[in-house]
Amino acid sequence: MENNQQIPHKRRIHYSGKYPRNYNEKYKELNPEKYVDIAEHVIAKGNTPAGTHIPIMVREILDILDINPGEQGFDGTLGYGGHTQAMLGCLKGQGHLYSGDVDSIELTKTTERLRKAGFDETIWSPRLMNFCDIDKLAAEVGKFDFVLADLGVSSMQIDNPERGFSYKTDGPLDLRLDSKSGISAAERLKELSRDELEGMLVENSDEPYAKAIARQIYNSINKGKTIATTTALYQEIVAAMNRVKPADDRDWQQEIKKSCARVFQALRIDVNREYEVLYEFMEKLPNVLNKGARVAILTFHSGEDRIVKKSFQALQRAGDYTEISTEIIRPGKEECYNNSRAHSTKLRWAVK
């Protein structure tokens, strides 16, 4: 008997209202190459299209790195590939750039996109690696003439609710940059004592309400409550904040939002051991640079910037760097207007 069954047509996701709100419904934003006009419209409003990332301070970074054809470089955090693509353009087909990332999901996507853009193995090599392992890479391929480390979390990771990086959308409380290694933020919270949690919030994000938030989260978990989603953690932070709310504060909702952002940041730093990784990278960096090599590092909060600043200063005194930035460089007003995620960026540099 002949099978006349047809595969049912799969309709696009429908959503209520004029614009899609959920991440998976934004199919046009998630395909910026196909829907160029939609991507341009989102960017013109100062936002980042879902599933993409706008590279920050590209012009300033290229000015610092002063890349010449024939040189060898390293981009420690590939992400969506914006900085890597700009640096490859400076090489003009001569030399080589290595780009590392611990996020296997985004590494695969970016590699496919940049290969289609014409950057083959002769000029560019992506590596699934943590940038603190730069010494192992240098032992294999030789020292570098320029290095970039963008320490920010990519927009693709923040926007995707499945990664758990933002309190604004519900999803599993994960927060791992490499989802295949380590433990999730939800599991990490179960391990921490109240004092440890409070200390982590202070050290990693200077959270002013650390004591109240740590007490709320610890007590809830101790009573058997499961905090396994971003929304569940958000609700715990709100409950803690409302317990210490001043009677006359009309802007308390803004305070809550700021604390939520800081708590998620602090937990992300802890889960991914970001400070330990950065210390290790900064210590190894001078030993993998050729004489005259240039380094640029983008940071996004005060803890990171302090580590970079003090490391550059100490290593200059030790004779490892001939010159370092004496002041931080910030993005211009126009860039901050066009990309709201650029506001907190700080750029520092050094020369071997």
The torsion defined by the Cα of 92, 98, 99 and 101, in degrees rounded to 10, comes to 170
- Judge contact between 29 and 39, C-beta under 8 A: yes
The tens place of each residue's pLDDT in the chain, 352 residues long, gives 444 555 454 555 554 555 545 544 444 444 555 544 544 444 444 444 444 558 899 999 999 999 999 999 999 999 889 999 999 999 999 999 999 998 888 899 899 999 999 999 999 999 999 999 999 999 999 999 999 999 877 655 666 666 666 778 888 899 888 877 889 999 999 999 999 999 999 999 999 999 999 999 999 999 999 999 999 999 999 999 999 888 777 688 899 999 999 999 999 999 999 999 999 999 999 999 999 999 999 998 888 999 999 999 999 999 999 999 999 999 999 888 887 778 889 999 999 9
Question: What residue type is assigned to position 216 of the chain?
Answer: Q
Residues whose CB falls within 8 Å of the CB of residue 26, separated by 6 or more in sequence, listed in order: 20, 49, 50, 51
d(CA 83, CA 97): 11
**What integer pLDDT is reported at residue 164 of this predicted model?**
62
Asked, colleague to colleague, whether 58-155+275-351 and 179-271 share their fold, the answer is no
| CATH classification for the domain delimited by 58-155+275-351, as one of 3.60.40.10, 3.40.50.300, 3.40.50.150, 3.90.1150.10 | 3.40.50.150
Distance from the first to the final alpha carbon of the chain: 76
Domain ranges of the chain: 58-155+275-351, 179-271
- Residues 291 and 98: their CA atoms lie apart, in Å, by 19
Structure tokens at 166: 């933002």
pLDDT of residue 105: 84
Task: State how far the Cα of 43 lies from the Cα of 72, in Å rounded to an integer.
Answer: 32
> Which pLDDT does position 36 carry in this prediction?
47
Q: Where are the alpha helices (DSSP H) in 226-301?
A: 230-243, 252-271, 274-284
Nearest-angstrom CA–CA distance, 145 and 292: 7
CATH architecture classification, 179-271: Orthogonal Bundle (1.10)
CA distance 344 to 342: 6
Question: Under a CB-based contact definition with an 8 Å cutoff, are residues 83 and 55 in contact?
Answer: yes
∠ at Cα 274 (269, 280), nearest 5°? 160
**Amino acid occupying residue 286:** P
Cα of 282 vs its chain's centroid, Å: 18
- Range 183-190 contact pairs with CB under 8 angstroms and sequence separation of 24 or more: 183/271, 184/271, 185/233, 185/267, 185/268, 185/271, 186/226, 186/227, 186/228, 186/229, 188/267, 188/270, 188/271, 189/217, 189/221, 189/227, 189/233, 189/267, 190/221
The pLDDT score that the predictor gives to residue 301 is 87
pLDDT of res. 160:
63
Longest dimension (CA), the chain: 84
State the pLDDT at residue 228. 93
